[in-house]
Amino acid sequence: MDDVLQVELTTHERDVLVKGLRYVRRSIMLETRDPTPVDEVRRSNLLDDIQMLSQRLEATDPLRAAGV
């Protein structure tokens, strides 16, 4: 199991992190690569990890949680 790391972020810091993760995700999607099955699995897993982290960070948005 992965170790858990807790970090306190301001709303602004969280927004910057989410924006950076979007940039990284787009970069991975656009990278030139060999279309081998192994690379395809690696790329898919990496994109899934980034998506899950982004969703976890976005779920901590107090305005979204309040429906604003």
- pLDDT per position as a tens digit, 24-49: 999 999 988 778 999 889 999 999 99
19 lies in which domain range? 11-61
Instruction: Tell me, yes or no, whether 57 lies in a domain.
Output: yes
Instruction: Tell me, yes or no, whether 28 lies in a domain.
Output: yes
Q: In whole angstroms, give the CA distance from residue 28 to residue 22.
A: 10
Among 46, 53, 45, residue whose Cα is nearest residue 21: 53
Among 4, 8, 28, residue whose Cα is nearest residue 17: 8
Instruction: Tell me, yes or no, whether 46 lies in a domain.
Output: yes
Q: State the chain's mean pLDDT as an integer.
A: 85
The total of structural domains in the chain comes to: 1
Tell me: the pLDDT tens digits for 11-24?
A: 999 999 999 999 99
Tell me: the pLDDT tens digits for 46-65?
A: 999 999 999 998 887 665 55
